[in-house]
């Protein structure tokens, strides 16, 4: 019986691939006999039947004798399988590839590949990058900042069939500049020196209808927290006046506290300099601020530079092979190795120790905020050096597990909670398997509630009602 069901599944999957020349599926599809997991409610439904009309879910229930599909319906027998809403990564950067060349402001390897050539590679490979998200069950992502090119990328992705839904922010508003990343007068990071300049940039961005305005709150000796606060205040106030949400990069507790006090809607990193206090937790709850932990990115620069990169099996299998090959720093010609990499290679234990100290704080903070009921939305910061577009999300899940989150809490963070970062009409239609939602879902071969590692045990992915078998 099991073999017959698997055969039926494969046959229908092929039929769906044939239909995929269209932007959305047509007709009626019925998924039967699987176990449905809706993390937002915590409800698990055995012998579920999910009816899909075109690109939307029209009905959800349990299989019974009266649920015999009508003639002409396409049927997927998901017996023994587990069905989840499509995963959502709430922190990616499409203007970065994840390879060793993508951040010349961090390590300058432009003598090997110019930044212009790097960005040209990114643009040529955008279809491949988007398809890798679908392969990983990720049907929606939030690009939290980049050049104005980001908005063209959002339009491209949202008109491409085999691609996640994309929300996007434009250039990062910051106290520092990164001229190494500017091409053709389109910088991904803009240094703002006065509140008035901040307001003007928000008004410019508003013309592109950004899903977020992004603040890069960098704290150092030259830029203490209070120095940049008037700009943060002005940018958030103007964004909210224009009905735009604001995401803030703030890894120091005081910068994060200031951001929330000023009205930030989303914090896109964990606090890593000290343990959060009760006052900060209370502040987040009062403001309803969402937190994206981005745990995986904290290890990837250092591990790459120290030649201690620990890519997961999913990353090795589903990450772009050119990107992964570039991350072997031992292949860089000796006369072109930047000092930062030389230092890391000379003392890798020091690098690993710094990473562990970061996790000693970040993981505890995540557990504290989860236990306090703060909305946690999974995200990776994919595109940064060593953080692989698509499968990096599975390493993020591992780290969330190490922090003490349960499988259901982690699943909530990448579905129902993550949908809240989208907002608007799209946010209301993703993150759950319910009537009226988009038909974005993942079919797994084993139960992720037993082990979060099973989130990558993918049989097939559906986006917009179109089924993509994992093997294809």
Q: What is the DSSP string of 440-459?
A: -EEEESS-TTT-GGGGG-EE
Structure letter (DSSP) for residue 220:
B
Sheet-wide strand order for 165-168: 87-92, 138-143, 165-168
Judge whether residue 22 has pLDDT over 90: no
Least confident of 11-15, 245-249, 386-390: 11-15
The answer to whether residues 314 and 132 touch, using CB atoms and an 8 Å cutoff, is no
pLDDT digits (tens, 9 = 90+) for 156-169: 999 999 999 999 99
* CB neighbour list of residue 398: distance below 8 Å, 6 or more residues apart: 312, 452, 453
Q: Residue 4: what pLDDT?
A: 37
For residues 455 and 443, give the distance between their C-alpha atoms in angstroms, rounded to a whole number.
9
Q: 2-86+432-469: what fold?
A: Urease, subunit C; domain 1 (2.30.40)
Mean pLDDT confidence for 180-201: 97
Q: For the residues 415-440, what does the mean pLDDT come to?
A: 96
Residue 397 backbone zone (phi > 0: left; psi -120 to 50: alpha; other: beta): alpha
What is residue 26's predicted lDDT score, i.e. its pLDDT? 62
What span, in angstroms and rounded, lies between the C-alpha atoms of 416 and 44?
A: 15
CA distances in angstroms from 163 to 139, 154, 300, 424, listed in the order given: 7, 10, 25, 20
For residue 100, CA distances in Å to 50, 113, 312, 388 come to 43, 10, 18, 11
Average pLDDT, the chain: 93
Q: 3-state class of 469 per DSSP?
A: strand
pLDDT tens digits, residue range 111-154?
999 999 999 999 999 999 999 999 999 999 999 999 999 999 99
Q: Which of 172, 130, 161, 179 is nearest to 383 (CA)?
A: 130
Which of the 8 DSSP states describes residue 140? E
Q: What percent of the chain has pLDDT over 70?
A: 93
Residue that the structure tokens 């910068």 belong to: 255
Q: Which residues pair with 471 in a beta bridge?
A: none
**Structure confidence by residue, pLDDT tens digits, 337-382:** 999 999 999 999 999 999 999 999 999 999 999 999 999 999 999 9
pLDDT of residue 8: 38
Q: What's 27's DSSP letter?
A: S
| Distance separating alpha carbons of residues 39 and 292, to the nearest angstrom | 17
Q: Determine the Cα–Cα distance for residues 110 and 121; give it in Å rounded to an integer.
A: 14
Q: For residues 264 and 288, is the Cβ–Cβ distance under 8 A?
A: no
pLDDT band for position 21 (cuts 50, 70, 90): very low
DSSP letter for 46, please.
E
The residues, ordered by sequence, that sit 6+ positions from 142 with a Cβ below 8 Å of its Cβ are 88, 89, 90, 91, 92, 166, 167, 168, 211, 212, 379, 421, 422
- Which part of the chain is CATH 2.30.40.10? 2-86+432-469
DSSP codes joined into one string, 125-171: THHHHHHHHHHTTEEEEEE----THHHHHHHHHHT-SSS-EEEEB-S
CA 421/CA 379 separation, integer angstroms? 11
CB atoms within 10 A of CB 371: 12
The angle, 0 to 180 degrees and rounded to 10, between the axes of the packed helices 297-305 and 339-346 is: 90
Q: Does the pLDDT of residue 66 top 60, yes or no?
A: no
C-alpha dist (Å) from residue 453 to 79, 156, 166, 446: 21, 32, 25, 10
Element (H, E) at 397: helix 392-403
The whole-angstrom separation of Cα 414 and Cα 397 is: 9
Q: SS3 for 73? A: coil
Q: Is residue 25 scored above 90 in pLDDT?
A: no
For residue 67, what pLDDT is reported? 58
- pLDDT at residue number 68: 60
Please identify, in words, the CATH class of the domain defined by 87-426.
alpha beta
CATH 3.20.20.140 placement within the chain: 87-426
Question: Which residues are registered as beta bridge partners of 247?
Answer: 214, 266
pLDDT tens per residue across span 230-244: 999 999 999 999 999
Tokens of 358: 């970061």
pTM attached to this predicted model: 0.94
Q: Residue range 173-189: average pLDDT?
A: 96
Q: Which residues contact 382 (CB under 8 A, 6 or more apart)?
A: 89, 91, 92, 93, 98, 388, 389, 390, 392, 393
Block residue for tokens 């009508």? 70
Q: What is the pLDDT of residue 73?
A: 82
């Amino acid at each position: 019986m099991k073999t017959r069901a698997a055969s039926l599944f494969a046959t229908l999957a092929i039929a769906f691939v044939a239909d995929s020349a269209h932007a959305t599926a047509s007709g009626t599809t019925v998924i039967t006999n699987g176990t449905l997991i809706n993390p937002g409610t915590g409800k698990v439904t055995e012998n579920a039947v999910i009816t899909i009309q075109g690109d939307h879910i029209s009905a959800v229930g349990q299989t019974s004798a009266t649920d015999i599909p009508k003639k002409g319906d396409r049927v997927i027998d998901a017996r023994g399988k587990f069905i989840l809403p499509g995963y959502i990564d709430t922190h990616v950067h499409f203007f970065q590839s994840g390879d060793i060349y993508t951040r010349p402001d961090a390590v300058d390897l432009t003598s090997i590949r110019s930044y212009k050539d790097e960005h040209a590679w990114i643009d040529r490979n955008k279809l491949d990058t988007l398809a890798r998200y679908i392969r990983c069950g990720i049907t929606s992502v939030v690009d939290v900042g980049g050049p104005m090119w980001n908005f063209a990328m959002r339009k491209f992705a949202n008109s491409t069939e085999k691609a996640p839904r994309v929300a996007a922010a434009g250039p990062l508003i910051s106290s520092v500049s990164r001229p190494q990343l500017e091409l053709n007068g389109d910088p991904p990071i803009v240094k703002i020196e006065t509140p008035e300049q901040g307001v003007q940039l928000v008004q410019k961005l508003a013309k592109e209808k950004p899903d977020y305005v992004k603040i890069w709150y960098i704290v150092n000796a030259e830029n203490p927290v209070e120095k940049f606060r008037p700009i943060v205040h002005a940018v958030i106030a103007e964004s909210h006046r224009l009905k735009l949400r604001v995401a803030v990069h703030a890894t120091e507790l005081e910068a994060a506290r200031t951001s929330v006090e000023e009205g930030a809607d989303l914090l896109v990193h964990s606090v890593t300099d000290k343990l959060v206090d009760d006052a900060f937790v209370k502040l987040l709850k009062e403001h309803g601020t969402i937190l994206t932990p981005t745990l995986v990115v904290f290890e990837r620069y250092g591990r790459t530079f120290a030649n201690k990169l620990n890519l997961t099996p999913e990353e090795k299998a589903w990450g772009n092979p050119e990107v992964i090959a570039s991350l072997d720093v031992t292949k860089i010609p000796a006369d072109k190795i930047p000092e930062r990499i030389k230092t890391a290679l000379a003392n890798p234990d020091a690098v690993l120790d710094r990473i562990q100290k970061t996790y000693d704080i970040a993981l505890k903070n995540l557990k504290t905020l989860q236990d306090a009921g703060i909305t946690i939305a999974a995200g990776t910061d994919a595109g940064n050096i060593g953080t692989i577009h698509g499968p990096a999300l599975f390493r993020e899940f591992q780290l969330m597990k190490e922090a003490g989150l349960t499988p259901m809490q982690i699943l909530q963070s990448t579905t129902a909670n993550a949908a809240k970062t989208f907002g608007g009409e799209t946010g209301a239609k993703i993150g759950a398997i319910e009537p009226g939602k988009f038909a974005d879902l993942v079919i797994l071969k084993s139960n992720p509630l037993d082990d979060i590692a099973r989130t990558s045990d993918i049989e097939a992915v559906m986006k917009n009602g179109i089924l993509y078998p994992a093997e294809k």
